[in-house]
Structure 1
Amino acid sequence: MTIPSPLPPGALDGVTIIDLTTAVLGPLATQHLGDMGADVIKVESPGGDLNRQIGIGPREAMGAFYVTMNRNKRSLVLNLRDPGAKEALFRLIEQADVVVHNMRSASTERLGIDYAAVAARNPRIIYASAQGYRWDGPYSNRPAYDDIIQGESGLADLGAGGNGAPRFVPTVLADKLAGLSLASAIGFALYAREKTGLGQEIQVPMLETLLSFLMVEHMWKAAFDGDKTQLGYQRLTTPNRRPLPTSDGFVCIMANSNGHWRALFDVLGCPEAMDDPRFATLSARSRNFHDLYGFIGERTGAFSSDYLIENLQSRDVPCGRVKRLADMFEDPYLTETNFFQHIEHPTLGKILTTAIPTYLSETPGSIRTPPPELGEHTADILGKLGYSADQIAKMAAA
């Protein structure tokens, strides 16, 4: 796709964000903000975001992991250990609305870019950060990545395999969830500033964010200050909750209401199961998910995937075919909705990206620019701050 111009203004049109983040959590958050129209200035060290080196890519510093989470940004290289470069950052901050980072507090204090220092230069700033743990707790300066948080939150234990060994979810869930939470919190703070005129500090801890997410359904008896060993929603923890085998593949079926279950039992040729006291009501089913899902899983293999999907969908029972990730690129639905989009990169040629899934009717998100080369916009950004070519070159050499 060729990016059209002009584009309609997004919800965050006119908002300037100074992005000091690396890895996944922060860059994903700022990409969401950029998708909604914000001007995101990605400030990188001379070596660049480490994600630039991860994954297959046409050349060094433009790896796949970087490309998938850094569209709609401009890249500025500054060595923040150099006083002149740090002053340039502060001059940018004076004109900005938001500063985002995922450094630990000891690092920001050492660099002199903690909230107090930044707010002294721009009292209206939204200063947002995300780390592994709360800033006011004993782990505040411990390093953390997604694997650590999946383990410490109990998520890896929830995903234990048949041998009881904990397993990581095969996606950086803690990073991405905290990134979405961080982007949301920035939106909240910008709205509050519109009403009060006040900037503020935001901190999003990864551990608490993921744990609160998990406890929505897994608090269980502990929600009533009951037995804290009886945790977990049985429907989700039974090993019988899995994609269901068919004669030619696998399907997913999520019957919920009495009507759904009656229809499912009919399609499977066992309508009498609705009279089983274990399965007759929602309350009974919620106590017997292990037996219920085992009962269904023993019967789906007699039918083809097409048969089950056609007959269940005709009766409004939620279901779908299990697909491989590679199947998504040719999926008819995703093709119809133009989910995968090619955009032109000035040096890489065509690159593939995903559409912005969130729809706003009056202030839509848009893909305006491809992921930037390291330092691609340094001269332009610093030049507009009043720096000369010689001063910019001196900063680059620092």
Structure 2
Amino acid sequence: MSSSGPLAGIRVVDLTAMVMGPYCTQILADMGADVVKVEPPAGDDTRYVSVGPAPGLSGVFVNVNRGKRSVVLDLRSDKGRAALRALIAGADVFIHSMRAKAITKLGFGYDDVAAMNPSIVYTNCYGYGRRGPDRDRPAYDDTIQAECGLPAVQAALTGEANYVATIVADKVAGLTAVYATTMALFHRERTGEGQEVEVAMFETMASFMLVEHANGAMFDPPLGPAMYHRTVAPNRKPYRTKDGYISALIYNDRHWASFIDSVQPVWATERYATLTARAAEIDTVYSLVAQTMTERTTEEWLTLFVELEIPAAPLNSPQALFDNEQLNAVGFFETVPTAQGPVRMPGVPTWFSRTPGRIAGPTPELGADTEAVLAELGLAEVESR
């Protein structure tokens, strides 16, 4: 287990499943926390959703549960609940993704857990916040994307409603759970007080979407609809070049001036001279640039944009990231030995000068650490299957 990260010495009791909660606790583990993943006898469903080197070790599961210890407990049994209570007594964080009624019925709502360990940070990962009428609704990434407006802005861009091709709601909510949990730990460090934290996918994604799309709707009276027009301009898409595609954003006035001076001097008119003017006709600007981009190869454009200090990039596939020069130069990938063979995992994206994080270890097979963890608590192995 990793012990050099900023969370070294923190123990997390993790009752989350799928992606939102496990992504949060994977980051905590990479930052040095001892994460004990408590699973039901059948295991987290994500163990079985994609390819993997062995049953119960799908690629998605392996990536978001690395470095944790797996303990199987049947929380419907008295012994299973007693073992969980013993785990909670020595923990710093308790985090779950069960519905409020279900976790409370088991006897592990916040009031119950705080009575066992008053200084604990208790993090709820929900679909919808408990103070609203939707608190008991089930939620998955697709439904949250729909409800927060992502397919609607995709439709404004492409003409057809689509989900974003990544589980963005799960991951953004997981990152939010990381900062919420660590902020509560910081408060406890200063005051000794534990507290309850709630992170809801819908509210998280509503906040995420409205960063730019709140726009004119924020004001009273409204100055326009809730939409940031640059991101939904129909011609906002990768540019086709002579031999492929490229992404480039000729955005501020310096970028624009250097681009037209080098490529299209005829565009040096007041109509497009300022960011404000270009923003008012952003789709026209995108269209003009698109026509010009077909005149050179991708490599020729990349060379020019580097020279002009204009942000630009080739279009990569996820597969190409494994051979990316930048990622390999910074040591982003780590090869972790496992019982099934080496696994090349995406690593820690942050850097600390004194307390660096790192992949905490391989992903546990279901229940692999039950005996050892219960022994640490002075308990015999409980009936879990």
> TM-score range with shorter-chain normalisation?
over 0.9
- 2:383 is aligned with what amino acid? M
* Whole-angstrom CA distance in 2 between matches of 1:89 and 1:369: 23
- 2:105 is aligned with what amino acid? R
Q: Quick one: percent identity of the two aligned structures?
A: 38
Residue 58 of structure 1, CA deviation: 2.0
* TM-score of the aligned structures, taking structure 2 as reference length: 0.97
Tell me if structure 2 keeps the 8 A contact 1:8–1:364: no
The residue number in structure 2 matching 1:348 is 340
Residue 274 of structure 1, CA deviation: 2.5
1:69 equivalenced with 2:64 (yes/no): yes
Give the SS at the match of 2:294: helix
> Once structures 1 and 2 are overlaid, which stretch shifts more, 160-169 or 28-37?
160-169
Tell me if structure 1 keeps the 8 A contact 2:3–2:9: no
1:289 equivalenced with 2:282 (yes/no): yes
* Whole-angstrom CA distance in 1 between matches of 2:89 and 2:259: 61
Residue 195 of structure 1, CA deviation: 1.0
* Whole-angstrom CA distance in 1 between matches of 2:15 and 2:80: 14
The residue number in structure 2 matching 1:387 is 379
Residue 22 of structure 1, CA deviation: 0.1
Residue 371 of structure 1, CA deviation: 0.5
Residues 98 and 48 (structure 1 numbering): CA distance in 2 closer, same or farther, change over 3 Å?
Answer: same
> Once structures 1 and 2 are overlaid, which stretch shifts more, 238-247 or 155-164?
155-164
The residue number in structure 2 matching 1:298 is 291
Give the SS at the match of 1:298: helix
1:271 equivalenced with 2:265 (yes/no): yes
The residue number in structure 2 matching 1:116 is 111
Residue 337 of structure 1, CA deviation: 2.2
- 1:170 is aligned with what amino acid? A
* Whole-angstrom CA distance in 1 between matches of 2:357 and 2:332: 14
The residue number in structure 2 matching 1:363 is 355
The residue number in structure 1 matching 2:42 is 47
* Residue deviations 1:234-266 (CA, integer Å, cap 9, x gap): 111101111011001111111222110012223
The residue number in structure 1 matching 2:183 is 188
* Whole-angstrom CA distance in 2 between matches of 1:242 and 1:249: 13
Give the SS at the match of 1:41: strand
Residue 74 of structure 1, CA deviation: 0.5
* Whole-angstrom CA distance in 2 between matches of 1:190 and 1:220: 34
Residue 163 of structure 1, CA deviation: 6.9
The residue number in structure 1 matching 2:88 is 93
Tell me if structure 2 keeps the 8 A contact 1:80–1:111: yes
Give the SS at the match of 1:76: strand
* Whole-angstrom CA distance in 1 between matches of 2:99 and 2:370: 26
* Whole-angstrom CA distance in 2 between matches of 1:65 and 1:311: 39
The residue number in structure 1 matching 2:212 is 217
* Whole-angstrom CA distance in 2 between matches of 1:37 and 1:215: 33
Instruction: Specify every segment of 5 or more residues in structure 2 that has no aligned partner in the other structure, as ranges.
Output: none
What is the aligned counterpart of 2:100 among 102, 105, 128? 105
The residue number in structure 2 matching 1:396 is 384
Residues 165 and 317 (structure 1 numbering): CA distance in 2 closer, same or farther, change over 3 Å?
Answer: closer
* Whole-angstrom CA distance in 2 between matches of 1:152 and 1:274: 43
Residue 341 of structure 1, CA deviation: 2.4
Instruction: Specify every segment of 5 or more residues in structure 1 that has no aligned partner in the other structure, as ranges.
Output: none
The residue number in structure 2 matching 1:375 is 367
1:320 equivalenced with 2:308 (yes/no): no
Tell me if structure 2 keeps the 8 A contact 1:267–1:312: no
Give the SS at the match of 2:115: helix
Give the SS at the match of 1:302: coil
- 2:141 is aligned with what amino acid? D
Residues 161 and 248 (structure 1 numbering): CA distance in 2 closer, same or farther, change over 3 Å?
Answer: farther
- 1:73 is aligned with what amino acid? K
* Whole-angstrom CA distance in 2 between matches of 1:164 and 1:244: 18
Residue 59 of structure 1, CA deviation: 2.0
* RMSD, aligned α-carbons: 1.5
- 1:272 is aligned with what amino acid? V
- 1:273 is aligned with what amino acid? W
Residues 167 and 228 (structure 1 numbering): CA distance in 2 closer, same or farther, change over 3 Å?
Answer: farther
Residue 396 of structure 1, CA deviation: 2.9
Tell me if structure 1 keeps the 8 A contact 2:50–2:58: yes
The residue number in structure 2 matching 1:19 is 14
The residue number in structure 2 matching 1:169 is 164
* TM-score of the aligned structures, taking structure 1 as reference length: 0.94
- 1:376 is aligned with what amino acid? A
- 1:295 is aligned with what amino acid? L
* Whole-angstrom CA distance in 2 between matches of 1:342 and 1:226: 56
* Whole-angstrom CA distance in 2 between matches of 1:385 and 1:230: 57
> Once structures 1 and 2 are overlaid, which stretch shifts more, 133-142 or 335-344?
335-344
* Whole-angstrom CA distance in 1 between matches of 2:135 and 2:145: 17
Residue 31 of structure 1, CA deviation: 0.3
* Residue deviations 1:62-95 (CA, integer Å, cap 9, x gap): 1111111111110000000001110110111010
Shift >4 Å, 4+ stretches = none
Tell me if structure 2 keeps the 8 A contact 1:8–1:363: no
Residue 110 of structure 1, CA deviation: 1.5
Give the SS at the match of 2:55: coil
The count of residues paired between Structure 1 and Structure 2 equals 385
* Whole-angstrom CA distance in 1 between matches of 2:103 and 2:7: 27
* Whole-angstrom CA distance in 1 between matches of 2:71 and 2:157: 49
Tell me if structure 2 keeps the 8 A contact 1:128–1:186: yes
Residues 214 and 192 (structure 1 numbering): CA distance in 2 closer, same or farther, change over 3 Å?
Answer: same
